[in-house]
Amino acid sequence: MVSRSDQLVTLDPRDEGVPNTDVLAKRPTTLDGKIIGLLSNRKPHADELLRMIADAIGERYSLKGVVEISKASHQWPAGPDILKEMAGQCDVIIHATAE
């Protein structure tokens, strides 16, 4: 004999581990006089998208410069050497993907 229950059981797919303690980096109050870093993941059109974003920002703010760097592959995170280089050169970094 099969019994039926009128209860609906749901499962919560969220991680029950330690809550995320990361915090957002401090944001500058303006982009005037700042160097913008563009980090491309090398997917098709990612470079064009990043340049369009930098151009739009440059129309609104007086940027000191733009640094463009590409990751080795879209499949892997940026290596510590790239991140350290960009952190040393740039005030703000934008990372984008495109296809």
pLDDT tens figures, 10-39: 877 777 777 777 788 889 999 999 999 999
| pLDDT for position 2 | 54
- State the alpha helices, DSSP H only, in the chain: 46-60, 80-89
Exposed (0-12), middle (13-18) or buried (19+): which is 82, by Cβ within 10 Å? middle
Structure token digits, residue 23: 């915090």
The amino acid that residue 23 corresponds to is V
pLDDT band, residue 52 (cuts 50/70/90): very high
